[in-house]
Structure 1
Amino acid sequence: MEVPFFPTLFITCKTWALRQPFFPTLEDWLVNHPKIYEFSWNNGKTPASSHRFLTLTVLTYISFTFILSQVSRPTLARPVLKSITAVHNIFLLTLSFIMALGCLVSIFSEVPNFNTLVCFPRGKSPTGPLFFWAYIFYLSKIVEFVDTLLIILSNSMKRLSFLHVYHHSMVVIMCYMCLDSAQSSFAMVLVTNCVVHVVMYTYYLFCALGMRPKWKKMVTDFQLLQFWASFLIMAMLVFYHFTGAGCSGILSWCFNAFFIVSLLFLFSDFHAKSYSSSSNKVKGA
C-alpha cells in the first residue's frame, strides 16, 4: 500500500535527475567514492560512535555552556570575533550544501522507490552512501556547538536561550539514534534540515560581515516549515510501518517525534514573541 502523489513525484524527480549530464560526475564524487560507498557504522568502532562518547560530548557541552555563561570571560577584539564568526558560517553553510547534495544524489542513485525511502526494511544495516552522509551530518551537529561559544564570546546573552541549548544538545542525540538504529526516512529530514541551514548560515554570514538582511523572519519561517515537513514524513513512516512488514528504527522514531514536537512548540513560541512584538512596536510607532 502506498501514499498517493509522493511516489509519482519521487519517480519524476529521480528520472529528471538521472538524465542530467552532470549527474554521473556527482555520483562518482558523492556516492561511488570508496570511502562513501563502503561506509559502515559500527557502534564503538567508528569514530565518535560509542555511547560513552555521545554522553560525554552532550554533558560537556551543557556544562561548559552553563559555566562560561556564569563566569567572567576573555573578550576578543570585535574584528577578530567577526572574522572567526564569518569563517565558521562559511564552513557550515558550505558543509550543509554538500551534505544536502550528497544525500540527494545518494537517494536518486541508491533508492529504488518512495516506499523504500520512507521505510527501510526491518534489519537494515547502517551502511553505504546514505549512512555516510548521516554520519557527516551527525558530526556537523557537534561542530555547531561552536555557535554557542561564539554567542558567549560576543556577550550576546539574550541569544543564549533554553531553546538554543536544548536544540543543539538534543539534535546530536537524535542524529546518533538515527545512525545506530538505521532509522527510516532520516534521509529526507537530513536534506530539508541542510537546506534550511544553508539559508540560516548565509543570513548569519551577512550579519558577521556587518550587513543586516531584512529576511531574518524568513529563517525562522523556514525552520517552522521544516518541522511541519518532518511531521508529514513521520506520519508517512507510521503509515508504511503499520500497512506493511514494518520499518527499521521505529523506536528511535518515537524519540524523534517527541523531539520535533517540542521544537515546534518552542520555535512557534519564539516566533510569536519575536515577530508579534516587533509588529506591535511598528504599529505603535
Structure 2
Amino acid sequence: MSGQPLIQTLTFWLSEHPSIVGFRWSHAHSWGSTWSFLFTAIAVYLTLSLLLHFTLLLVNRSGRPVPLGPIPAFHSLAMALISFTIFAGITLSSAAEIRETRWFWRRSKTPFQWLLCFPLGTRPSGRVFFWSYMYYLSRFPHMLRTFFTILRRRKLVPFQLFNHSILTVISFLWLEFSQSIQVLAILLTTLVYSVVYGYRFWTAVGLPSACFPVVVNCQIALLGCNVACHVGVLMLHFMRGGCNGIGVWVFNSVLNGVILLAFLNFYVKIHLGFDKKGRTRGGEVKSVAGGGSCSPGLGGKERNGKEL
C-alpha cells in the first residue's frame, strides 16, 4: 500500500502536472525555440570545440591529457538520470494521451501506430510535446562530452561534432513541425542513453567493465530501430490516410541516413581497426571492438564507443 502514493505522486509530476498538460511549443514562450537560437547554439558549439582543440595544440605541446577528475563521471550520472526521467515521463504521458484521445482515432489505428504516426493536424502541445521539448533541451548538455574528449584524448572527432549537431536539429524539427515518429524515437533513444551513460558512470568510478563493447552495440541497436521506425511511418502514411509532418520527415530521414553512413564509416575505421590500406591495426583497438579483452575499466574508455 505504501507504494501506491509514490506511484501516484510520480505520475502527477511526470504526466499530470499543469505545466506538462498545458504545454505549448511557442517561439515567444519556449526557451530556445527559435531558428536563430538553434543555429547560433550549434555555431557556438562548433566554434568552441575547434578553439579548444587548437588551443591545446598550441599550449599543451607535450600531448598529455588534461585531468578532469570526477567531472566526466558526474556528467554521465546526470545524463543517465535525465534520460531516464524523460523516458519515464514520455511513457506515462503517451499512455495518458492514448487513453484520453483514443476515442477520436481508434477506428483508424492502434496505440502503437499512433506512436509512429500522428493524425493530420496535430499541434505541438500537451504532454508528449513537453517531454519532446525536454529531450531537445537535453541535447545541449550532451555536447559537453565533445569537450571531455578533446581535453582527455587531445583529439577532435568530426563524427562527434556532426552527430551532436544533426541530432539537435532533428529534435528541433520534431517540435517545430509536430513530426510523427518522435514519441517512439524519444522512447528508444532515452532508454539507450540511460543504459549507455549509466554504464559510463559505472566504469568511470572504477567498477569492472563488460567483456563486449556496450556503447557500440547500443549505437547499432538504436540506429537499426530508427531505420525500422522510419519504414513504419512511410507505410502508415500511405496505408492509413497520412501522417502529420511527413514533409519534414523526408528531411529527417535524409539526416538519419547520413548519420548512419557516417557511423558505419567511423565504426569500420576505429572499432574494426582498419587503416587506409585495409589492414587491421591490431592491439588494443581490435580487442575492444571485438570484445576480446576484459581488462578492468576498459569499457569506460572512449574507444569503447566514441559517442552517442
Q: What TM-score range do you get, normalising by the shorter chain?
A: 0.7 to 0.9
1:36-75 correspondence runs (5 A): 36-72=20-56
TM-score computed with the length of structure 1 as normaliser: 0.83
Counterpart for residue 114 of structure 1: 112
1:266 is displaced (CA, Å) by 2.2
Q: Deviations over 1:64-116 (max 9, x none)?
A: 111111113689973xx121111111110000011111111112221232232
AA aligned to 1:182 is: S
1:215 is displaced (CA, Å) by 4.8
Distance 1:250 1:222 in 2: 27
AA aligned to 1:64 is: L
1:201 is displaced (CA, Å) by 1.0
TM-score computed with the length of structure 2 as normaliser: 0.77
Please tell me whether residue 261 in structure 1 is matched to residue 245 in structure 2. no
Counterpart for residue 136 of structure 2: 138
Counterpart for residue 273 of structure 1: 269
Distance 2:121 2:212 in 1: 43
Distance 2:86 2:188 in 1: 11
Counterpart of 1:228 (choices 214, 218, 224) is 224
Structure ranking higher in helix proportion: 1
Distance 2:116 2:201 in 1: 34
Please tell me whether residue 198 in structure 1 is matched to residue 185 in structure 2. no
Which ranges of structure 2 fall in alignment gaps of 5 or more residues? 103-110, 274-279, 291-308
Distance 2:212 2:139 in 1: 22
Counterpart for residue 91 of structure 1: 78
Which ranges of structure 1 fall in alignment gaps of 5 or more residues? 1-19
Counterpart for residue 92 of structure 2: 105
Distance 2:191 2:30 in 1: 27
SS at match of 1:82: coil
Counterpart for residue 4 of structure 1: none
SS at match of 1:71: helix
Aligned length: 260
> Are residues 218 and 83 of structure 1, via their aligned partners in 2, closer, same or farther at CA, if it must alter by over 3 Å?
closer
AA aligned to 1:48 is: G
Judge conservation of contact 1:119–1:247 (CA < 8 Å) in 2.
Answer: yes
Give me the CA root mean square deviation. Answer: 2.5
SS at match of 1:245: coil
> Are residues 59 and 44 of structure 1, via their aligned partners in 2, closer, same or farther at CA, if it must alter by over 3 Å?
farther
1:279 is displaced (CA, Å) by 9.5
